[in-house]
Amino acid sequence: MAYKFDAKKTANDLTEWIRDYFKSSASPQTKAVIGISGGKDSSVAAAVCVQALGKERVIGIMMPQGVQTDIDYSRRVCDFLDIKAYTINIGDTVASFMDELKKHIELTPQAVINTPARIRMTTLYAAAASLGGRVVNTCNLSEDWVGYSTKYGDAAGDFSPLSDLTVTEVLAVGDELGLPYDIVHKVPTDGLCGKTDEENLGFTYAMLDRYIRGEDDLSSVPEIKEKIDKLHAANLHKLMPMPKFTLK
């Protein structure tokens, strides 16, 4: 039978799952703390948290690195959901940290791109510790599948509402929740390297999503299939618990 996604059921199931998570592992005052990028994932995750917990228990953290040209999207999300929000600029912190590192180590492009994501996650955990919250992971299945996330950066968090949903499915849930269309369907970028996600990956999310769900074996584009399979195999370590030696 062909795979069929039910956005309304999924939105309701997500709501109940978040509600149950907080009931079973947190106090009634515990908040969901989420980094708001202004893109689909953080917007949908925040909206579901509001639906599950109420707007008083969801806190948005905007973390521009210096000047963020599209930060108005982040503000609109927080205003639309009517959640308390903080803007914490990580620009000076990133610059100072990288300057100190460069005195000792020749930095690779990967270090330059991934370090700000890890500083953002540090910021979220500091905010959560200070405000009595749990950090929301906003990664989706498509990004996780090909490793398009930063280990201990955006791949971290205390609970992950979207990690079993493809990008296509996240968009459908966002539309179901009534979020502004231009925010949900905004062209995804990582906000760090100046390229869109799909430019970095070399294929579209729609193509990847159909492959993940078994709707297209990509036999017509074997080079794309090979690239996806290689990325998936190379990045599985990001989804696994840290390997640990067991004393015998």
Task: Report, as an integer, the average pLDDT of 221-232.
Answer: 96
Which residue is it, tokens 């990004």? Answer: 143
Spell out where the chain has E strands: 31-35, 58-62, 84-87, 133-135
Query: How is residue 182 written in tokens?
Result: 């231009």
pLDDT 10s digits, 154-208: 999 999 999 999 999 999 999 999 999 999 998 877 555 567 888 888 999 999 9
CA angle 211, 158, 126 (to 5 degrees): 125
More confident residue, 202 or 57: 57
Say how many C-beta atoms besides its own lie within 10 A of residue 54's C-beta: 10
Q: What are phi and psi of 197, to 5 degrees?
A: -55, -45
Whole-number pLDDT of residue 150:
94
CB 141 within 8 A of CB 165: yes
What CATH number has the domain spanning 7-239?
A: 3.40.50.620
Residue type, 89: N
CA 76 to chain centre: 18
CB 42 within 8 A of CB 183: no
- Measured CA to CA, the distance from residue 142 to residue 152 in angstroms comes to 18
pLDDT 10s digits, 8-44: 999 999 999 999 999 999 999 999 999 999 999 999 9
User: Could you tell me what percent of the chain has a pLDDT over 90?
Assistant: 88
Say how many C-beta atoms besides its own lie within 10 A of residue 96's C-beta: 10
Q: How far is CA 166 from CA 61, 110, 139, 153, in A?
A: 24, 25, 10, 20
Residue type, 176: E
Whole-number pLDDT of residue 192:
57
Does 131 have pLDDT greater than 90? yes
- pLDDT band of 89, cuts 50, 70, 90: very high
Query: How is residue 180 written in tokens?
Result: 């502004």
More confident residue, 206 or 3: 206
Task: Report, as an integer, the average pLDDT of 94-123.
Answer: 96
Task: Report, as an integer, the average pLDDT of 124-128.
Answer: 98
Whole-number pLDDT of residue 191:
58
**Domain boundaries along the sequence of the chain:** 7-239
Strand order in the sheet with 84-87: 84-87, 58-62, 31-35, 133-135
Which of 242, 207, 241 has the alpha carbon at shortest distance from 227? 207
Task: Report, as an integer, the average pLDDT of 222-227.
Answer: 96
- Measured CA to CA, the distance from residue 78 to residue 59 in angstroms comes to 9
Query: How is residue 232 written in tokens?
Result: 């998936």
